[in-house]
């Protein structure tokens, strides 16, 4: 009896034509013939008839229904023009330059509105380069909004915005934004008296920011923390590190940008460290230099928040020299400016108050100064 087969055998002529096509490579044996032919040559099917690996690019393109040129063209298509991105870039720069003097409530409102506009572009069609550019621009504006939030005493909002900026920086692989978000974390910790956390925040990104402006700022914040922990050796090391990074950087084009570090700004940080360390003569020299550099020829103040802290430094030096009148005068001048970073100002003003109380505890002028601080804290 003849064996049954599920495969209908072809005629001799058909089998001969198929064989010739198999030999020429025009076609391949199907799953019925391939094992038979392989067994004839004493091997396995996969060795004799290996399966062709699909081309991954062809597979992807096939799945999209597009040919190569169309696929590449889609990657280059965008709903955002270069002119629009340039305009946003200019606006982000302007906002960062207005940080030192603009009304914080107005700056916060405008910064938040622009942050929404910028991030909304991510929902549209963008080139890969544009996608990264928008992440970076959003990161800078988020950093600015976070700084203003903290100036206004909104700690929770400031930390949330700082984390958002960090996330944008990480997605864009932008070390500068990542570094500045760490610097903000250090600043928050410092003004809350958490000096160890401030140091930890700076050390997490020190290596990646060794050639960036953010690295200078990180070193300065670390120096301020070590100064308050009483470790002068590490203060000197941090300041030396910051100066070395600053020396390697090109001189910045726009010194008004809050996220630009220049030699004058580094003097501001050195002033703080000298005051805390009790190096009064050097602290006084730095403070006068900060005020001079921050004052324009017409007498207007370019960096009011730096000037406020410089006056507090002069107040501390004065009270240590037993000149209460001068100390109180300088201390009150620190509150004269309309643009304030409340946490930073209260932090330094509190340190100044402790110096005054230690030397003039029962003086009515001391009580008047403390009342001034309390009224400021309640604003």
The 10s digit of each residue's pLDDT in 264-286 is: 888 888 999 999 999 999 999 99
* Residue 301 phi, psi (nearest 5): -105, 125
Given its phi and psi angles, is residue 49 left (phi above 0), alpha (psi -120 to 50 degrees) or beta? beta
> In this predicted structure, what is the pLDDT of residue 3?
44
For residue 186, pLDDT over 70 is answered with yes
Token pair belonging to 50: 């290996």
Label residue 25 by pLDDT band (50, 70, 90). low
> Rounded CA gap, 153 and 347, in Å?
12
Better-scored residue on pLDDT, 332 or 173:
173
Q: For the chain, how far is it from start to end, CA to CA, in angstroms?
A: 106
> Rounded CA gap, 338 and 49, in Å?
82
> In this predicted structure, what is the pLDDT of residue 61?
44
Label residue 168 by pLDDT band (50, 70, 90). very high
Token pair belonging to 354: 């402790």
Model pTM greater than 0.85? no
Q: Are 352 and 310 in contact (CB under 8 A)?
A: no
> In this predicted structure, what is the pLDDT of residue 122?
87
User: In which element (H, E) is residue 27 found?
Assistant: none
Please report, rounded to a whole number, the percentage of residues in the chain having pLDDT higher than 90: 47
* Residue 99 phi, psi (nearest 5): -55, -40
Q: Are 363 and 324 in contact (CB under 8 A)?
A: yes
Other C-beta atoms closer than 10 Å to the C-beta of 163 total 15
- Which residue in this structure is represented by tokens 């300065």? 220
* Across 324-328, average pLDDT: 91
The number of helices, as runs of H, and strands, as runs of E, in the chain is 19, 0
Label residue 6 by pLDDT band (50, 70, 90). very low
> In this predicted structure, what is the pLDDT of residue 230?
93
> If you average pLDDT over each of 39-48, 180-189, 246-255, 296-305, which comes out highest?
180-189
> In this predicted structure, what is the pLDDT of residue 158?
95
> Rounded CA gap, 244 and 215, in Å?
10
Query: Per DSSP, what are the bridge partners of residue 2?
Result: none
For residue 143, pLDDT over 80 is answered with yes
Please report the domains of the chain, with CATH numbers, ordered by start residue: 1-51 (no CATH), 262-378 (1.25.40)
* Across 117-134, average pLDDT: 88
Other C-beta atoms closer than 10 Å to the C-beta of 88 total 20
For helices 128-151 and 175-191, angle between their N-to-C axes, nearest 10 degrees: 10
Give the range among 91-95, 166-170, 194-198, 302-306 with minimum mean pLDDT. Answer: 302-306
Give the range among 21-25, 49-53, 123-127, 297-301 with minimum mean pLDDT. Answer: 49-53
> For the segment 343-376, what is each residue's pLDDT rounded down to a tens digit?
888 889 889 999 999 999 888 888 888 887 788 7
In b/e form, how buried is each residue of 355-365, taking b as 16+ CB within 10 angstroms? bbbeebeeeee
> Rounded CA gap, 116 and 234, in Å?
42
């Amino acid at each position: 009896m003849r064996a049954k087969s599920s495969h209908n055998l072809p005629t001799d002529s058909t089998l001969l034509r198929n064989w010739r096509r198999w030999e020429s490579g025009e076609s391949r044996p199907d799953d019925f013939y391939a094992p038979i032919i392989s067994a004839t040559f004493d091997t396995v099917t996969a060795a004799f008839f290996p399966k062709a690996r699909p081309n991954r690019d062809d597979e992807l393109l096939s799945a999209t229904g597009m040919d190569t040129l169309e696929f590449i063209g889609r990657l280059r298509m965008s709903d955002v023009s270069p002119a629009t991105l340039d305009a946003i870039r200019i606006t982000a720069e302007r906002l960062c330059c207005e940080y030192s003097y603009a009304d914080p409530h107005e700056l916060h409102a405008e910064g938040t509105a622009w942050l929404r506009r910028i991030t909304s572009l991510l929902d549209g069609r963008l080139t890969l380069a544009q996608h990264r550019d928008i992440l970076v621009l959003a990161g800078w504006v988020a950093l600015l909004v976070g700084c203003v939030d903290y100036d206004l005493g909104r700690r929770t909002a400031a930390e949330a915005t700082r984390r958002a900026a960090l996330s944008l920086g990480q997605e864009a692989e932008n070390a500068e934004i990542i570094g500045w978000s760490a610097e903000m974390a250090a600043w928050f910790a410092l003004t809350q008296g958490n000096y160890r956390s401030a140091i930890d925040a700076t050390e997490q990104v020190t290596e990646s920011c060794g050639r960036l402006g953010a690295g200078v700022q990180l070193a300065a914040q670390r120096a301020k923390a070590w100064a308050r922990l009483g470790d002068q050796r590490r203060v000197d090391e941090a300041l030396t590190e910051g100066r070395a990074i600053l020396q390697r950087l090109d001189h910045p084009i726009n010194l008004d940008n809050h996220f630009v570090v220049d030699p004058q700004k580094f003097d501001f940080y050195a002033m703080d460290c000298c005051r805390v360390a009790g190096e009064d003569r050097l602290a006084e020299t730095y403070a006068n230099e900060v005020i001079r550099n921050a004052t324009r020829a017409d007498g207007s103040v370019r960096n009011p928040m730096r000037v406020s802290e410089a006056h507090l430094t002069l107040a501390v030096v004065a009270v240590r020299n037993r000149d209460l009148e001068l100390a109180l005068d300088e201390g009150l001048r620190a509150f004269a400016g309309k643009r304030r970073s409340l946490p930073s100002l209260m932090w330094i003003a509190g340190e100044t108050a402790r110096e005054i109380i230690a030397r003039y505890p029962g003086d009515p002028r001391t009580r008047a100064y403390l009342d001034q601080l309390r009224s400021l804290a309640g604003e």
